[in-house]
Amino acid sequence: MTGGSGRGARRPARVRPYSLTGGRTRSGHVLLVETFVASLEPADGPVDGPGDPVPTGTPGTRMLPEIRAIIELCRRMRSVAEVSAMLKIPLGVVRVLLSDLADQGKIRVYGTGRGPGQPDRALLERVLVGLRRL
């Protein structure tokens, strides 16, 4: 961009998205902002069950606080956006962490409960009825 006077004044030419993959993470989980996830741990059980430690010496060790926080928070059903907002972890990072946790069998990805693409007419009608009742 021309005419910029240093980093502060210059408008970025183009910014790359964190996802151009339709919400699909590398390991194939579709994690849209509204996708529901929850922990597979019991509601009041330990976050790290016996025989199920996060291996030491792997990148997982460094991630432990975030991972523990996610598993703890997801003892309730949460959307991806809620996990990101409540733990103050950027969306893109949360999607990677959730995807890894799903691969490890620690969280379950429930999805959105609707097909891909635009919601169908029947679902729209249900939303309409729900809004009218507010």
Partner 1 sequence: MDFADSETMTVTPPHVSEIPGAGIPGTEEKLQNWQIDRSRAPIATKIVIAGGFGVGKTTFVGSVSEITPLQTEALMTQASEDVDDLGATPEKLTTTVAMDFGRITLESDLVLYLFGTPGQQRFWFMWDDLMRGAIGAVVMADTRRLEDSFPALDYFESLGLPYVVAVNHFEGTPLYGPDDVRDALSVSPGIPVVTMDARQRVTVVDALLALVGHAVDVSPE
Residue ranges in 90-129 that form contacts with partner 1 under rule CB under 8 A: 90-93, 96, 108, 110-114, 116-121, 123-128
State which of residues 4, 45, 46, 49 lies at the interface with partner 1 (CB under 8 A): 4
**26 scored as a contact of partner 1 (CB under 8 A):** yes
Angstrom CA distances, 45 to 39, 49, 58, stand at 11, 8, 25
What are the strands of the beta sheet with 78-79, ordered from one edge? Answer: 78-79, 36-39, 107-111
Question: From CA 119, how far away is CA 10, in angstroms rounded?
Answer: 40
**60 scored as a contact of partner 1 (CB under 8 A):** no
Instruction: Please state the closest distance from residue 102 (CB atom) to partner 1, in A.
Output: 14
Residue 69 φ then ψ, to 5°: -60, -40
State which of residues 29, 84, 98, 101 lies at the interface with partner 1 (CB under 8 A): 84
Instruction: Please state the closest distance from residue 19 (CB atom) to partner 1, in A.
Output: 6
